[in-house]
Every structure is written in C-alpha cells, then in structure tokens.
Amino acid sequence: MRDGGHFGVIRKPGTASGTTVAFRQVDAGGRLRPAAEPDAGGMPREARDALAPPALARLCEALQSIPSRELRFDLDGADSAGLALRLVKPDGEAGTFRLEWRPSGEQDEYRHRLEQRLAFERLIAALSTELIHAQDDCLDALIERALGQIGRLFDVDRAYVFRFDGARTVQSNTHEWVAPGVSPEAANLQDVPIDHFPWLLEEFRAGREVHVPVVAELGDAARTERQEFEREGIRSIVLVPFGEQGDPEGFIGFDSVHRERHWPDDILVGLRLVSQMFLNAFRAQQMRQRLGMMAFHDPLTGMGNRRFLNDRLAHAIERCRRDGGSLAVVLIDLDDFKLVNDSHGHALGDEVLRHIGARLVAAVRASDVVARLGGDEFVVVAATTGLDPLSQLVERLFAAMREPVVLPGVAYTARMSMGIALFPDDGGDAGTLLQQADTAMYAAKGEGRDRFAFFTPRMTEDSRKALRLRHDLGLAMARGEIRPHYQPRVQLPTGRVLGFEALARWHHPTDGLLMPGSFLGLARQAGLVGRIDCDMLGHALADLPRWRALDPACRVSVNLDAAYIHDDVLLRQLEEQLSAAGEAAACVELEVTECSLMRDIDRSAEALGRLRSAVPALRLAIDDFGSGYSSLAYLGRLPVTTLKIDRGFVAGLAGDNPRGARAILRSILELGAELGLHVVAEGVETQAQADTLVELGCREAQGFLYSAAVDAGQAAGMLQGSRSR
C-alpha cells in the first residue's frame, strides 16, 4: 500500500485445494519478500498480527471462490477488529473484503500471555527468597519444585538443570521435572563429556541462551545437538546457561515434545534470572558444605570427627525411634599403636592412621557411619537387624586389619579391641551408647586385647560362638571335616533299601558331630553352601560304586541349595562333575526344595532344563513338597522326576487332624501318579504311618522307622542286609 505498491499477495498454489497459502509481502517496487524476514517492512502492527496463520487461513477461505492463482490486495483499513482488504483481480476489477482477525479466542490468548507473565514474575520473586533461606538438604527438592512450577506455567514437557563438574569436563542432569506421561531422561544424562555438544558449549561460553523454536530446523553446525534432541523426542527447546561469560557452570532447560513453541523475549529474561538464582544457591551450598567439612571432619584422616559422630548418631537414633530399627555402636581402639608412634615417629604414625581409617570405611556399608574420635580411637555406627549381620560386621572389621599396613621402613599389623553397645538395648541417647561402648571396649582389652565385647556380656558369648563357627567353617571345608551321612530310602511295604540320601555332617574336632541345622545357615551367609553341596556330590559319587557293586540299581540323592540353581558358575561345575561320572550319573538324584524352586520359577525351570539336557539320565526331585505352595500349576513346567512329600504331612497322620493329612497325602500321591513322577514319603517314624502310606498307594519312604543317616560303611552293610532279606 506504500507508494502505490500492494500491501500483500496471496498465492494460491496450482493445486485447486487452496489449503496451502504462502503469504509474501510486497515492497514499494512490487517485489516479493519472504514473510519471515525480520520486520515486516513497516506494516501496521495490527495487520501483522492479523496475518497469523489462522487469520490467513480464513482469508484464503474467503478468497476460495476466486479462480485466480495470485491475488493482490491493498489494505483499506485496519482496526482492532479486523482488516478491510481491497482485492485487485487480474481483470482489474476490485472487490472489497473485510477480514475479522481477533475473535474472542485470541483475546483470551492475549490475556493468558499477560497472566502467565505476571505469574512468572511472582514465582521468581518467591523463589528468590526461598532459595536464600533454603537448608542444604532441601535445596534439591526446592529446585525441582521450581522447575515443575515453571514447566507447568509454560506448559512444557520437561524442565531441568545441568551442572558442569569442577574441571568443566563433564555435565550431569542434576535436577529434572517431567510432565505426566513424559519419560524422564536424567538417568541417561550423567557425566556426559561437555564437548560432546560443541555447538551448545560455544553458545554457552559466549553467554548466549539457546532458543530453538523448531528443532528440525537446526542448522548443520548443531547437527550433534539436533540428533540428540530428536533422540529424546524434543521438538522445541530453550536452554539458558549460568556462570560467568566464558566459563559456564551449567544451564537450565525446557523441552517441548508435543509441539513447537516460541519463547517471548521477556520470558527469556526471566529464565536468565532463574538460572542465575540457581547458581547462587549452588555456590552458597558449596560454601556451607566446605565450612561444615571443617567443623565436622578430622583433618588428619578426612573422616568424620567427634562432632560429626554425635550429630549422625543422634540422627540415626531418631530415625530408629520413628521406624523401629536398631543400631550398633562399635568403638574401636587400636592395641599397641603407641609403639608405632614411639618407635617410628608421629609422621609415620599419622600415615598408619590414615590407612587404617580408610580400611574401616571400606569395610562397612556406605550407609554406616565411621568417625575418628582422636588418637587411635574410631567408631562405627551401623543399622543392624540381628546378631548374625552384626557378627558379620565385626568379622569384616577384623578382616580389614588382617593385612599389615606397609609403609617405607615399617609393616604394622593393627590389632584392635572393640566394644559394642546396642540401641535400644543398652542406651537411648548418643552419649550413653558411646559410654557403654567404651566400657565394653575396656572389657575386651581386659580379656586380652585383639577381640570384641558387647556391653551386654551374654551377647558377647553367643556372638563369639557364631563368629568362631563361621571362621572354623572355612577351615573345616579345607580339612574335609564336612562329610555326608546317608539315610536309606526304602521300598514300601517291603522295606528293601533302594538307595540313600546324602546329608551333610560336620565332624567338628572339639564339638563333635554337628547337624546341618547348626552350620548351613552360616554357610549360606558366608557363600559356602554351594561348595558344600559340590563336596557332598563328590563324596556321594565316590561312595556309589561300592554300593552299586552290591546292587547295580542303587541310587544316591544329594541336596542342592537354591543358591546353586541360580548361579551359573556353580551350575556348570555341577554339570562337569556329573558328566565325569559317566553312566553312574543315572543313579544320582538331585533334591531342590520346593520353596527355593519357586523363588524364580522361570529361571529354575531353565536351570533344571539345562542340567537335564547336559546329563539326560539325571533325576531331579522336588524336596519338602507341599510345604506352603498350594499352586500346583507350575509342576508341569519343571523337568522333575520325583516328589518328596514334606515330612510334616506324614507327621500329621498322628496329629490332631489325621483325616486332613490323609487327604493331602492322597492327593499328592494321585498327582504324582498322574504326572508319572516318583513319590517318596519322608519322615516315616512309625509302622502305623507306613501302613497308611501303603494303603494310599505310596511305594517309597524314608524315615527313622527304617534308619537315621549313617556313615558310608554302615550304609553298605544295610544295603547288603536288605539284599539278602
């Protein structure tokens, strides 16, 4: 419209659909300019706004009837409600159209923008005071909440903070908020090298924010970034760095995965403010932590000091009071450390203490507290769930000192005395507990050092026994003290011996014959039970030929712990042992308890299947069958050959519900028959029980009625006696 030029041109594409329309502005000389150019050449602001896509679409619709491919028009007038257009048709005839461009919806949109901006300003104001007063332990939550508020306010899908490490080599997504239904990405974005996104880094270093309304339009310089954004499904993004120009320390970012969006300048200014506020909060936190470090840390070892200990112990006690847990306070004093100082000097003594501190820290769980009280005294505070884990802890602490600390000119093997006090048993506050632990520690020293004592003496005794057994167990295995006894499996009703079950026995040098109940639990905890099972199989395979010479059909069964079938290494070892046994493997049966099989039925099925295909003749039994799992649906999925009825059911025949016990026995026997499985009744102690079982159709049994477990030689005797019967 300027200087006789036309205000604009509507081009209708050749296709008659008329749906895509390109708007071009015409300059004074009548030349076309793309609409995307910076400023629309002095076009009245209202008119410019009006020609947003919806208005344009409406215009096109109005012009639909005109069969022209190019329409030139002049602006007759523009007011707050619409445009008056004068069309210049090719035949020179002019027509006037009025185009309404701000229907009520757009007015709402305008108001919405305004409200959004005001809300943002309020949010920033509130956040700035909150961040200043934030305690260290709630800063992260506060920042994530703020991200959520901003994210929701601007209707984005993901809002987050990235921070660079001190050396400015990697960046990590430290805080994240995602809209419902949007997948979080933080876990995938830890320790990413910062030069991985060169274009972003360059922009940040230049102190510029990165505003990408349409990710797909990112140029080649930002190819890596575009690919990453697209991988995350981002269509539009804005990233605002924080830190000094030239040395960014991180950035905040907002992703839109559902739509493209343009962030107005005034909002970007607000985001910059937010990012700077976050940075200030991070720096303040760091400063506080450094100061706290000085107050709470032992400068020599870098471990917590007495103040730290009191603080953490009080916290831990509070937590236990609330959640009902228990705590052990272990006070450790090195025996004879004075000698190191006296003979090698303090500098070396300090070095030794540093090493010992580090070993103690390594010996406990990350959630436990270790502190140095001063001198050669240390304290460990651990959450405990019972005597067993506690004696494991004690053993780990002793084990940590087993190797000498080797330094130039000296190799020092630290011995230590430990005193243990328990919360809530021995005291209800930090001071009392430390006092009691100290008393116990002196008791340990009095007993001859290099040992530990509980404040409550009985516990010292029990725990020491458990500790000793655990220690002995390792030696016992090496010395071959754990060997099987064999309990016969007999045919019903004849009582003829068909084979034996190997049951582990510990031939303890001082305590005599120990039953599995007293050491298998320990072995399990120490991770030794797999080796015990392997050993038992080895013994059984060694004893088998002697029995088979008497009865070629004689079988032996060996118990397998659950740990076995879920451990590939052990399983392979077992396969090898059995394969090496050759045709004798057909006389071996492995027993696995029902409940351990059920722990992970799929893996159990797979592991047993593998065993069976490696050693096809192998027999597999479900031990203690019926003890708790009512669903029998899984039975068909396990490649087993035998069911061993839990001895509880046989015992039940003489209990207060004999009819119930009978019914269960009958159904297990029927089920076994249906599935073609051997069924063995365990724990048969009386002739009456045996008679009932025979009546129900049971063909095989095991129990004290026939014999308890005996050694291999006696087993051979029984087999022979039974043959000649």
Residue 504, binding choice from Ca ion, ligand C2E, none, Cβ under 5 to 8 Å by partner class: ligand C2E
**Nearest-approach distance from CB 672 to Ca ion, in angstroms:** 15
Our finding on whether 683 is near ligand C2E (CB under 6 A) is yes
Residue 488, binding choice from Ca ion, ligand C2E, none, Cβ under 5 to 8 Å by partner class: none
Which residues have a Cβ under 8 Å from the Cβ of 369 and sit 6 or more positions away? 304, 309, 312, 313, 316, 379, 380, 381, 382
What angle in degrees, to the nearest 10, is found between the helix axes of 306-323 and 430-446? 110
Query: Is the Cβ–Cβ distance between 100 and 79 less than 8 Å?
Result: no
Which residues have a Cβ under 8 Å from the Cβ of 87 and sit 6 or more positions away? 63, 66, 71, 72, 73, 94, 95, 96, 97
Query: Is the Cβ–Cβ distance between 412 and 404 less than 8 Å?
Result: yes
Smaller CB separation from ligand C2E, 340 or 536: 536
On the CB side of 175, CA atoms within 13 Å amount to: 25
- Which run of H or of E encompasses 86? strand 82-88
Q: Which of 624, 653, 680, 698 binds ligand C2E (CB under 6 A)?
A: 624
Query: Is the Cβ–Cβ distance between 681 and 665 less than 8 Å?
Result: yes
Smaller CB separation from ligand C2E, 295 or 515: 515
Name residue 555's beta-bridge partners.
Answer: 499
Q: Which of 704, 713, 721, 723 binds ligand C2E (CB under 6 A)?
A: 704
54 cis-preceded (ω within 30 degrees of 0): no
Structure tokens at 383: 């959450």
Locate tokens 């270093």: which residue? 205
Smaller CB separation from Ca ion, 351 or 682: 682
Smaller CB separation from Ca ion, 248 or 683: 683
Q: Report the C-alpha gap between 19 and 163 in whole angstroms.
A: 46
Smaller CB separation from Ca ion, 123 or 503: 503
DSSP state of 303: S
Smaller CB separation from ligand C2E, 110 or 704: 704
**Nearest-approach distance from CB 161 to ligand C2E, in angstroms:** 52
Q: Which of 703, 712, 715, 722 binds ligand C2E (CB under 6 A)?
A: 703
Q: Which stretch binds ligand C2E (CB under 6 A): 269-277, 488-496, 553-561, 655-663?
A: 553-561
Residue 685, binding choice from Ca ion, ligand C2E, none, Cβ under 5 to 8 Å by partner class: ligand C2E
Our finding on whether 589 is near Ca ion (CB under 5 A) is no
**Nearest-approach distance from CB 690 to Ca ion, in angstroms:** 17
Instruction: Give, in order, the Cα–Cα distances in Å from 115 to each of 46, 101, 125, 254.
Output: 21, 22, 15, 20
Smaller CB separation from ligand C2E, 271 or 514: 514
Our finding on whether 623 is near Ca ion (CB under 5 A) is yes
Q: What are phi and psi of 84, to 5 degrees?
A: -105, 125
Our finding on whether 591 is near Ca ion (CB under 5 A) is yes
Q: Which stretch binds ligand C2E (CB under 6 A): 437-445, 466-474, 659-667, 702-710?
A: 702-710
Task: Give the footprint of ligand C2E on residues 633-662 (CB under 6 A).
Answer: 647
Q: Which stretch binds Ca ion (CB under 5 A): 12-20, 303-311, 590-598, 715-723?
A: 590-598
**Nearest-approach distance from CB 252 to ligand C2E, in angstroms:** 57
Q: Is 104 exposed, middle or buried (0-12, 13-18, 19+ CB in 10 A)?
A: exposed
Q: How many CB atoms lie within 10 A of CB 444?
A: 24
Q: Which of 236, 301, 559, 604 binds ligand C2E (CB under 6 A)?
A: 559
Q: Which of 503, 550, 584, 710 binds ligand C2E (CB under 6 A)?
A: 503
Angle value at C-alpha 490, between 486 and 495, nearest 5 degrees: 125
Question: Rg of the Cα trace of the chain?
Answer: 41
Q: Which of 209, 225, 368, 623 binds ligand C2E (CB under 6 A)?
A: 623
Q: Report the C-alpha gap between 309 and 331 in whole angstroms.
A: 12
Residue 683, binding choice from ligand C2E, Ca ion, none, Cβ under 5 to 8 Å by partner class: ligand C2E
**Nearest-approach distance from CB 196 to Ca ion, in angstroms:** 57
Angle value at C-alpha 617, between 616 and 622, nearest 5 degrees: 95
Locate tokens 């470090």: which residue? 293
List for the chain the helix, strand, coil content (%; round to 5).
50, 25, 30
Q: Report the C-alpha gap between 495 and 687 in whole angstroms.
A: 11
Smaller CB separation from ligand C2E, 139 or 650: 650
**Nearest-approach distance from CB 690 to ligand C2E, in angstroms:** 11
Our finding on whether 624 is near Ca ion (CB under 5 A) is yes
Positions of E strands within 392-481: 405-407, 410-412, 415-423, 452-454
**Nearest-approach distance from CB 644 to ligand C2E, in angstroms:** 7
Our finding on whether 561 is near ligand C2E (CB under 6 A) is yes
Q: Report the C-alpha gap between 230 and 222 in whole angstroms.
A: 12
Smaller CB separation from ligand C2E, 351 or 533: 533
Residue 516, binding choice from Ca ion, ligand C2E, none, Cβ under 5 to 8 Å by partner class: ligand C2E
Give Dmax (Cα) for the chain: 128
Q: Report the C-alpha gap between 698 and 202 in whole angstroms.
A: 82
Our finding on whether 681 is near ligand C2E (CB under 6 A) is no
**Nearest-approach distance from CB 678 to Ca ion, in angstroms:** 14
What angle in degrees, to the nearest 10, is found between the helix axes of 387-400 and 457-479? 70
Residue 466, binding choice from Ca ion, ligand C2E, none, Cβ under 5 to 8 Å by partner class: none
Q: Which stretch binds Ca ion (CB under 5 A): 22-30, 301-309, 506-514, 676-684?
A: 676-684
Number of chain residues interacting with ligand C2E (CB under 6 A) = 24
> Of the candidates 121, 79, 114, which has an alpha carbon nearest to the alpha carbon of residue 99?
79
Residue 517, binding choice from ligand C2E, Ca ion, none, Cβ under 5 to 8 Å by partner class: ligand C2E
Q: Report the C-alpha gap between 216 and 230 in whole angstroms.
A: 8
Smaller CB separation from Ca ion, 570 or 645: 645
Our finding on whether 241 is near ligand C2E (CB under 6 A) is no
**Nearest-approach distance from CB 709 to ligand C2E, in angstroms:** 5
> Of the candidates 518, 520, 586, which has an alpha carbon nearest to the alpha carbon of residue 552?
586
Our finding on whether 504 is near ligand C2E (CB under 6 A) is yes
Q: Which of 25, 417, 559, 642 binds Ca ion (CB under 5 A)?
A: 559
Name residue 237's beta-bridge partners.
Answer: 212, 255
Task: Give the footprint of ligand C2E on residues 509-538 (CB under 6 A).
Answer: 515-517, 520, 529, 532-533, 536
Residues of the shown chain interacting with ligand C2E in the complex, contacts defined by CB under 6 A: 487, 503-504, 515-517, 520, 529, 532-533, 536, 559-561, 591, 623-624, 647, 683-685, 703-704, 709
Residues of the shown chain interacting with Ca ion in the complex, contacts defined by CB under 5 A: 559, 591, 623-624, 682
